[in-house]
Structure 1
Amino acid sequence: MASRCARLLWLAACMLVAGCRHPFTPVTRPEDALHELSQPLELRDDGEPAALRAAIAESLVWLNTRPGDQRFIFGKREVTAAELRAALEHLQSRLTDGLTPAELSARVLEDFEPLEAAGGEDGLVLFTGYYEPAIEASLTRTEEYSTPIYGAPKDLIEVPLEPFGDRFKSEKVFGRLDGRKLVPYWSRSEIRGGKLSSQGLELAWAKDPVALFFVEVQGSGTLRLPDGTERRIGYAGSNGRPYRSIGSLLIQEGIIPREAMSMQALRAWLAANGPQCDRVLDYNESYVFFRYLEGSAVGSLGRPVTPGRSIATDSKLFPRGALAFLQTERPVALPDGTVQWQPLSRFVLNQDTGGAIKGAGHVDVFWGRGPEAELAAGLMKQKGRLVFLVPRRTAAQ
């Protein structure tokens, strides 16, 4: 905190003496989240057109459920659901196999124009990753499988606050009734202590509580059952408590250096320090409830997310279901076991959100299943640029 205050004072002095740029103000309104490009950006896509078509198709399915006059805010621009749907449909119809990156970019820019995300304090976006982990579980409780995987509780109440005033737009609170009062829902430690054990909410039982915790963080996962079959689970709600990073806790306590922190380092420390697991996990009071999925992992739109093509952002700032483009780096494992960072630049769809994704300076990229996905999800914390593609006025008309 002291170093941050010193930096702000230094920036203020620069403004007065040398006319430096204004100190950073966190973006809290969607009107301020996007602006004209700060510098040229080549929209060169390094992915497969088929995956892009699949991701666009999921956004279109969701947009077809929206009223045609629903407004989507792209910075200072507003676009209706009908206009966004028409632009994406036209683009999808022209995404053929074999397109070169230059041809793909040209087709996108015929119908869309780029607006850049405001980013964080340095004007850049922090890119992290998430994936669909697999954990050992059983449909019945045993001594080996004893950690419950809960579905959404019957007494969990969701209260949208927007009807109480415009200043509460998109805000919600979650709680439970205590007599006639709405009080915060049970915390992680209270749920672990058995507050839900009498509701019959158990979908299955996990072998490792730490592995289940990371499924909560990712939002979906695969249960590997003792008979060799698998069941997929996805997000069904949360207790409404604020998300707090256990990685940040261990950094603050001096246990893991900031530069060494990753999902892999965090899991290794928890595995080696079993007696401290409950204390560390309970630091994050947020608790996620699950439901069974018939197909692949779904995002906040209620539609499947596409590996490498779906992103999660702050839903209060960026238009849901919209087309975007990112430029950053991703880790790739080499045959000798080392990790190499390679450029990542591609069109993506804004199809998810998350409790840890706050502000205009953080984006989570979905990577799917498997070792490569786990590597990217665990190591990615790279800076880069994000632009959203807003339908051109002529294309929308």
Structure 2
Amino acid sequence: MASGFYRRVSHAVCALAVAGGVLVTTPANADATYQVMEFSQLDGWENDDHAAALDVYLSTCRDMTEIDWSALCEFAKTDPDPRQFFELFFRPVLIEDGKDGMFTGYFEPELEGDLFPSERFAYPVYSMPPEALETNPWLTRREILDTDVMANRGLEIAWVDDPVELFFLQIQGSGRIKLRDGTYRRVGYRGANGHPYRSIGVELVNRGVYEAHQVSAEVIKNWVRRNPVDGRELLFHNPSYVFFREVSKVPADKGPLGAMNRSVTAMRSIAVDPSYVKLGAPVWIEKDGKEPLRRLMVAQDTGSAIKGAQRADVFFGTGDAAGKQAGTLRDPGRMFVLLPIQRAYALLPESAI
């Protein structure tokens, strides 16, 4: 049973969700179905570290400006019992669009680099040229790298020593560059050239080099390095090219900036499809596969390949170890979005309430 204090706060939060007599609701996605669940139906809910999840929720909830979300964020700052906080003010909602659940992983790469070019550090990390902002699509990856269109313009943020790692930095969208003096320069996604992303892993499968189940980021990297000429051409198979911005104001001990422009947290932040899942919302994960995962995450990021109501990308952290874990993850499962109670029930048809 909730204490009288919690009941009073619950009533206050519900009252705050009515602004000028108009109930704040979440518009339903026409392609989705919604099922409001009980926390007792979530596998492993009682065993999670709810305090860790609450800390991550607090890192971005202040950016959720709707009145009910804002009221919950204010109460979360008063040091409530973490599990009671989620159970009293939220309901888990299963959102489905007819596609099977799928979990993959992403990470923040760490590259070796310098602020000046040299024989070793010969591959530039570019900021976005003005004409790429104005023209969509702009030049292809091959045209950017095989011409002098970027030369002598001061667009280099840094120089790195490995073109393959730079390619995968573009796929991840953010990363850290460790400079020769031991300091770091962190870069984040600024924009792209407007061409569609084409998977080089799929291309290796189409060429008969590997079977689909054999392909991972490490397998692709090793193949490109063993076959430098053909490997360079393989990278050109993807015409998309990503430009960066410096985000070194983010401390080195914090995660990279996600779509909410806040640092993401290893194994507590996920990338989602924001047309189904609101950024900043808590999300309960039930990932199956070889290493099952039952955990309360927070939707704090997006990704071009993350599409669908039951699709999520788990952030594993920074560096090679995180990359190896993230690169092999491709598991089924399901996830539940935690919504404020009134929002959750407002998604249901009247006949279901």
TM bucket normalised to smaller:
0.7 to 0.9
Distance, in Å, in 1 between the alignment partners of 2:68 and 2:33 is: 19
Match of 1:246 among 200, 206, 215: 200
Check 1:117–1:43 CA distance in 2 against 1; reply closer, same or farther (3 A cut).
Answer: farther
Tell me what 2:263 maps to. Answer: 304
Does structure 1 residue 379 correspond to structure 2 residue 333? no
Tell me what 2:60 maps to. Answer: 59
Distance, in Å, in 1 between the alignment partners of 2:343 and 2:187 is: 43
Deviation of 1:119 (Å): 5.5
Tell me what 1:215 maps to. Answer: 169
What does the per-residue CA deviation read over 1:134-192, in whole Å, with 9 as the maximum and x for residues that have no partner?
111110011221111001222233xxxxxxxxxxxxxxxxx52xxxxxx5211211111
Tell me what 2:151 maps to. Answer: 197
Deviation of 1:30 (Å): 2.9
Does structure 1 residue 348 correspond to structure 2 residue 347? no
Deviates more, 1:366-375 or 1:264-273: 366-375
Tell me what 2:314 maps to. Answer: 365
Does the 8 Å CA contact 1:43/1:325 hold for their aligned counterparts? Answer: no
Secondary structure, aligned partner of 1:211: helix
Distance, in Å, in 1 between the alignment partners of 2:181 and 2:78 is: 44
Amino acid in structure 2 at the alignment position of 1:315: P
TM-score, normalization: structure 1? 0.71
Amino acid in structure 2 at the alignment position of 1:44: W
TM-score, normalization: structure 2? 0.80
Check 1:372–1:146 CA distance in 2 against 1; reply closer, same or farther (3 A cut).
Answer: closer
Q: What is the RMSD computed on CA atoms of the aligned residues?
A: 2.6
Tell me what 2:95 maps to. Answer: 117
Deviation of 1:207 (Å): 0.7
Distance, in Å, in 2 between the alignment partners of 1:213 and 1:315 is: 26
Tell me what 2:138 maps to. Answer: 185
Tell me what 2:107 maps to. Answer: 131
Check 1:140–1:302 CA distance in 2 against 1; reply closer, same or farther (3 A cut).
Answer: same
Secondary structure, aligned partner of 1:250: helix
Does the 8 Å CA contact 2:95/2:276 hold for their aligned counterparts? Answer: no
Deviation of 1:130 (Å): 0.6
Which 5+ residue runs of structure 1 have no aligned equivalent?
1-28, 67-80, 158-174, 177-182, 331-340
Distance, in Å, in 1 between the alignment partners of 2:344 and 2:172 is: 37
What does the per-residue CA deviation read over 1:292-349, in whole Å, with 9 as the maximum and x for residues that have no partner?
222140011111111111111122332122111111147xxxxxxxxxx322111111
Does the 8 Å CA contact 1:127/1:380 hold for their aligned counterparts? Answer: yes
Tell me what 1:90 maps to. Answer: 75
Does the 8 Å CA contact 1:240/1:286 hold for their aligned counterparts? Answer: yes
Tell me what 2:286 maps to. Answer: 327
Does the 8 Å CA contact 1:311/1:352 hold for their aligned counterparts? Answer: yes
Distance, in Å, in 2 between the alignment partners of 1:54 and 1:364 is: 20
Distance, in Å, in 2 between the alignment partners of 1:358 and 1:285 is: 21
Deviation of 1:383 (Å): 0.5
Does the 8 Å CA contact 2:187/2:246 hold for their aligned counterparts? Answer: yes
Check 1:50–1:368 CA distance in 2 against 1; reply closer, same or farther (3 A cut).
Answer: farther
Amino acid in structure 2 at the alignment position of 1:307: A
Amino acid in structure 1 at the alignment position of 2:164: V
Deviation of 1:197 (Å): 2.3
Distance, in Å, in 2 between the alignment partners of 1:43 and 1:91 is: 23
Deviation of 1:92 (Å): 5.5
Amino acid in structure 2 at the alignment position of 1:150: Y
Aligned residues: 310
Does the 8 Å CA contact 1:312/1:357 hold for their aligned counterparts? Answer: yes
Does the 8 Å CA contact 1:91/1:111 hold for their aligned counterparts? Answer: no
What does the per-residue CA deviation read over 1:348-375, in whole Å, with 9 as the maximum and x for residues that have no partner?
1111111222233421111112444223
